[in-house]
Amino acid sequence: MNIKAAILALIAYAIFSTHDVVVKFVSAEVSAFQIVFFSSLLSFPLLTMLMVRDATPGTLRPKHPIWTALRSLSMSVVPASAFYAFSVLPLAQTYALLFATPLLITILSIPVLGERVGLPRLGAVLVGFAGVMVVLRPGETQLGLGHAAALLAALGSAFQSVILRKLSSVERRVVLMLFPMLTTVVVMGLALPFVYVPLTAPELSGLTIIAVFGFCATLLLVNAYSIGEAAIVAPMQYSQIIWATIFGLILFDEKIDLLTLVGAGLIIASGVFIVLREARGGQSNNTPVLRTRGRAVTSGGLNVSLFLKRNAAEDHTE
């Protein structure tokens, strides 16, 4: 079943990569804020159908409102930051920086979850951050808002993932899905008057594709994690660097340089090591990276972990 799960995950991340290509095309004329706002609205009916299936008794009032609010705000910032990075940076470079998320999760899990991180994982984090510096090459290349946006997306994604790990055993799934989605629509809606441009038919079609592709890829990942081990499925996300190289070269004439490949390799190797270390019980009480299933840069508040009943059950048994 692990082979089937890996194949499903590879297909899911291929769809996510295509999703990001559409984002890059649409963002040439439409602001990232507007893209996130409308794609979130288009995702709302799809996500609502899944939320109504949550039979867990309770109300929509969060038991931990502050943590819920912080996570919701983080999730509202992540897609806009990532989409902006996709619009101004080469695809491969953007992915390389977003792949720093597991490293940041490992660090943030120490104060938020009380995670004990041993020397092997700390060493992997340092190697990964060295890879980030290789990709950025401060002093040699001009750093801009796109680089800052990609790193902000990685940080926000890590922060919301750690908070989700903290709340998943005590909050209803519908609460953990609904509030980030509503917050994203409100925050992006506040920015909309300053960036709005009338949408043409191709742009509206692009927004629809973004919403549908994000939803379909998420469902494929849910199926992958449902039948396979997380340690097998999680590393499949790094296949996106291959798609980024192909799409970037063919569609955008982006030529990936050797240092970006080296930096991405260091980041990917560090992320895979951390996942495998947690899977083998490497002194991890919370397995925060292993439990981060999917990616947070998709608009609409879609999160793989919240669709997995098995994951919720595991949280309760710890």
Per-residue pLDDT tens over the stretch 53-80: 666 666 778 889 999 999 999 989 999 9
Q: Is the whole model's pTM more than 0.85, yes or no?
A: yes
Report which DSSP code applies to 138.
Answer: B
Residue 307 is predicted with a pLDDT of: 60
Phi, psi at 256, each rounded to 5°: -75, 130
Ranked by mean pLDDT, the top range of 38-52, 66-80, 137-151, 215-229 is 66-80
Range 210-246 burial, b when 16+ CB lie within 10 A, else e = bbbbbbbbbbbbbbbbbebebbbbbbbbbbbbebbbe
Report which DSSP code applies to 144.
Answer: -
Confidence band of 293 (pLDDT split at 50, 70, 90):
low
Nearest to 295 by CA among 49, 129, 101: 101
Whole-angstrom CA distances from 118 to 73, 216, 281, 283 are 30, 37, 12, 7
